[in-house]
């Protein structure tokens, strides 16, 4: 009630409480039915046991929306009561926000439908950030912190248990507002991955940056997330793949929320990652340069011509390199700092500007703050300011800059990281092209449920994945004939659906050189199969060509319950087993996307040719992964696929799947 009055809400407000005749000057009504008109929104703040009765009233009257603040539902394992209020609402066509939420605020139009103390202050100025949080307390607390630091919000929505309307519903609608420049989400989990991806595709079509604080990464946090919102939490590596693929800016904490909100809400877009640093302290300038480099930004040396222009406004003992050390003597030239800002703004050698000021106080500090604010408002390049000063001497300057929307930071790392996110957004990858698998007839369902490597590779081959030359043999005679046809040396593998890990069982023989060795080996590996798994079904022995001279890689598929097929590619051997050097994306992936995945691998130099080894056929590997991606989309029964190893041969000679394991429904 207090907030609605404070924000100047112009609509009708009806308190409903059977124990009061009036509240805060408003006439109070005993029930919803007693109101003189049907409200558009009902704010529900009664104890949980009374909520179903309130929802019955809403349904009978035809109320459109209910915001349920009340707790004590799915978050406390009272799922039956939550399901009951949803059933009541659905019967009457009522849409629900909550329960267990702190509501929302439309700052642009002055509509606070919330009880959050973060709004109980002078009316917050409207900005260009839309923030949707699954946590009410964290959402409004982090909003307040960011707003105090100068971020301007347009909407804040907290969704709580999401019994009906959820984070994606609100995020999609708010993303359609042309005044929104950043969509900010606090996310514990989702129940429908396809809707989430549709949201990200829409924001991409609008060129709208999306920053997400995704929690629930540790085992403890996952359990907390479940009990907090009864939401599902997906695998962390899959979420990283989604963010990477769709250009989402990942956040870690409330500081990140503050920094990304205040920079993206006001800043211009950047055309590159080159930062120009203007510093009143040589040491602080060096730290700023290190911070920028760590964040993936460039601090280029300035050209001789540009340096000469800079030197006209700094003392001889300063430095015209980048960082530009203006020294504290810059305060002696009233125009010097502003001129240097103008030079950085006009230079084609710089994309972003980072002024780093130290203990500049008094009239000089005030003038530098005004110069910064003027340069920020008129400039076309992104700017973040770092002012290293205590509150006693610097609060006035920081407040002045914040009031005029200049992103001002107390720490160099945070300033550099914020600028880096601007470049991260601009440097995002294009979404892979759809591969047209709609209507493709699945082939996996035609294969036996107890598949072996032979059938798995046969399925791969049907989708255009190169496999080794091989033949499944059911006798020694067939095996010797197959080896002659393929050509020695060969590999022998016992095929049994009951022994998926053949090497561990000792039922693989490599580099069999001739017929005599084959005859000796054939019976021996069959005996090992019987000992490894008594009663195991033996489908035969696979005679396979030996592939040598390649780099071992692994390509895999895992069907994620939220997002569907996830493609993995990495180097084999120790890189997978110990270093876990694998890159992930959602299917589909095209050739360009696969090449980007390979760029992320620590072992990439081994594919490019390291320490005298020849470069490998990376293009062939990309084509192979692309084909597996099409297969993953076409086969709804495919749960897991492990193609390991894939031998990537010398450049121009191709890549071939040597072994494969499929897990199916």
The pLDDT value given to residue 232? 36
How confident is the model over 54-70, as pLDDT tens digits?
999 999 999 999 999 99
Rounded CA-CA distance 407/341 in Å is 16
Is residue 604 helix, strand or coil?
Answer: helix
pLDDT in tens, 15-32: 999 999 999 889 999 999
Measured in residues, the chain has a length of 665
Closest to 43 measured CA to CA, from 22, 14, 5: 14
Residues in the chain, pLDDT under 70? 217-234, 433-439
Q: Which residues contact 504 (CB under 8 A, 6 or more apart)?
A: none
Residue 38, token pair as written in the block: 């049907």
Distance CA 338, CA 334 (A): 8
Q: Which two tokens mark 83?
A: 């399901």
The answer to whether the beta carbons of residues 582 and 569 sit under 8 Å apart is yes
Q: Which of 195, 130, 129 is nearest to 162 (CA)?
A: 195
Cα–Cα–Cα angle for 35, 36, 39, rounded to 5 degrees:
65
Integer angstrom CA distances of residue 240 from 246, 360, 586: 10, 42, 10
CA atoms within 13 A on the CB side of 619: 3
- The reported pLDDT for the residue numbered 434 is 65
d(CA 219, CA 232): 13
What's the pLDDT at 205?
94
Q: Which tokens sit at 291?
A: 């911070």
Map residue 70 onto helix, strand or coil: coil
pLDDT, residue 230, reads: 31
> Residue 498: which of 474, 522, 529 has the closest Cα?
529
DSSP-based three-state secondary structure for 300 = coil
Q: Which residue has the tokens 């260009």?
A: 128
Q: Which helix (H) or strand (E) holds 636?
A: none
In order, the DSSP letters of 571-593 are E-THHHHTS--EEEEESP--HHH
Residue 54 tokens, joined? 């309130």
Please spell the DSSP secondary structure of 353-385, one letter per residue: EEEEE-S--HHHHHHHHHHHHHHHHH-SS-B-E
Going along the chain from its start, the domains and CATH numbers come out as 101-266 (3.40.50.261), 275-426 (3.40.50.261), 469-545 (3.30.1490.20), 551-664 (3.30.470.20)
- Classify 183 as helix, strand or coil: strand
**What's residue 448's pLDDT?**
86
CA atoms of 385 and 404, how far apart (whole Å): 13
- Distance from the first to the final alpha carbon of the chain: 55
Question: 424 with 434: CB under 8 angstroms?
Answer: no
Angular region, 469: left φ>0, alpha ψ -120 to 50, beta rest? beta
The pLDDT value given to residue 572: 86
Closest alpha carbon to 134 in 182, 79, 171? 171
Q: What does residue 467 show for φ and ψ, rounded to 5 degrees?
A: -125, 165
Which one-letter DSSP state was computed for residue 50?
G
């Amino acid at each position: 009630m207090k907030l609605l009055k404070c924000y100047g809400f112009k609509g009708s407000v009806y308190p409903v409480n059977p124990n009061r005749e009036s509240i805060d000057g408003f006439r109070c009504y005993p029930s919803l039915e007693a109101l003189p008109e049907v409200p558009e929104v009902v704010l529900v703040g009664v104890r949980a046991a009374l909520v179903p009765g309130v929802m019955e009233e809403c349904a009978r009257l035809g109320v459109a929306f209910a915001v349920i603040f009340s707790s004590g539902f799915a978050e406390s394992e009272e799922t039956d009561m939550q399901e009951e209020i949803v059933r009541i609402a659905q019967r009457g066509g009522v849409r629900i926000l909550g329960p267990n939420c702190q509501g929302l605020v439309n700052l642009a139009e002055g509509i606070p439908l919330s009880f959050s103390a973060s709004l109980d202050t002078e009316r917050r100025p409207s900005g260009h950030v839309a923030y949707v949080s699954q946590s009410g307390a964290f959402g409004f607390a982090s909003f307040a912190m960011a707003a105090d630091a100068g971020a301007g919000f347009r909407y804040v929505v907290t969704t709580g248990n999401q019994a009906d309307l959820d984070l994606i519903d609100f995020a999609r609608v708010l993303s359609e507002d042309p005044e929104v420049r950043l969509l900010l989400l606090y996310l514990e989990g989702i129940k429908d991955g396809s809707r989430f991806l549709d949201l990200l595709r829409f924001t991409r079509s609008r060129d709208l940056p999306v920053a997400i604080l995704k929690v629930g990464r540790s085992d403890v946090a996952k359990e907390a997330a479940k009990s907090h919102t009864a939401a599902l939490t997906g695998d962390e590596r899959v979420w990283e793949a989604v963010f990477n693929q769709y250009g989402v800016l990942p956040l870690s904490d409330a500081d990140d929320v503050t920094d990304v909100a205040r920079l993206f809400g006001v800043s211009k877009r950047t055309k590159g990652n080159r930062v120009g640093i203007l510093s009143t302290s040589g040491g602080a300038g060096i730290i700023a340069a290190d911070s920028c480099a760590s964040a993936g930004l460039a601090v280029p040396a300035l050209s001789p011509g540009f340096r000469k222009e800079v030197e006209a406004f700094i003392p001889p003992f300063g430095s015209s390199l980048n960082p530009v050390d203006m020294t504290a003597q810059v305060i002696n030239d009233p125009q010097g700092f502003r001129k240097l800002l103008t030079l950085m703004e006009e230079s084609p050698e710089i994309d972003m500007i980072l002024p780093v000021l130290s203990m500049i106080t008094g009239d000089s500090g005030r003038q530098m703050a005004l110069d910064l604010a003027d340069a920020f408002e008129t400039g076309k390049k992104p700017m973040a300011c770092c002012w290293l000063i205590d509150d006693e001497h610097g609060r006035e300057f920081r407040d002045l800059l914040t009031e005029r929307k200049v992103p001002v930071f107390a720490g160099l790392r945070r300033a550099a990281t914020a600028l880096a996110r601007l470049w991260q957004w601009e440097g995002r990858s294009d979404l892979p092209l759809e591969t047209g698998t709609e209507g493709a007839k699945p082939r996996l369902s035609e294969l036996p449920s107890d598949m072996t490597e032979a059938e798995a590779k046969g399925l791969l081959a049907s989708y255009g994945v190169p496999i080794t030359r091989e033949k499944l043999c059911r006798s020694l005679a067939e095996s010797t004939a197959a080896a002659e046809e393929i050509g020695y040396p060969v590999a022998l593998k016992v095929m049994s659906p009951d022994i998926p890990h053949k090497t561990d069982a000792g039922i693989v023989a490599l580099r069999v050189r001739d017929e005599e060795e084959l005859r000796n080996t054939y019976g021996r590996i069959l005996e090992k199969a019987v000992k490894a798994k008594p009663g195991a079904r033996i489908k035969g022995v696979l005679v396979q060509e030996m592939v040598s001279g390649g780099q071992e890689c692994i390509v895999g598929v895992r069907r994620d319950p939220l997002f569907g097929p996830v493609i993995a590619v990495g180097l084999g051997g120790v890189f997978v087993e110990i270093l876990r050097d694998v890159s992930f994306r959602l299917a589909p992936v095209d050739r360009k996307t696969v090449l980007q995945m390979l760029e992320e691998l620590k072992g990439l130099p081994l594919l490019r040719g390291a320490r005298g080894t020849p470069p490998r056929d990376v293009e062939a590997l990309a084509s192979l992964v692309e084909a597996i991606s099409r297969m993953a989309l076409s086969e709804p029964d495919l749960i897991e696929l492990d193609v390991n190893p894939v031998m990537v041969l010398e450049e121009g000679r191709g890549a071939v799947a040597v072994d494969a394991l499929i897990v199916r429904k």
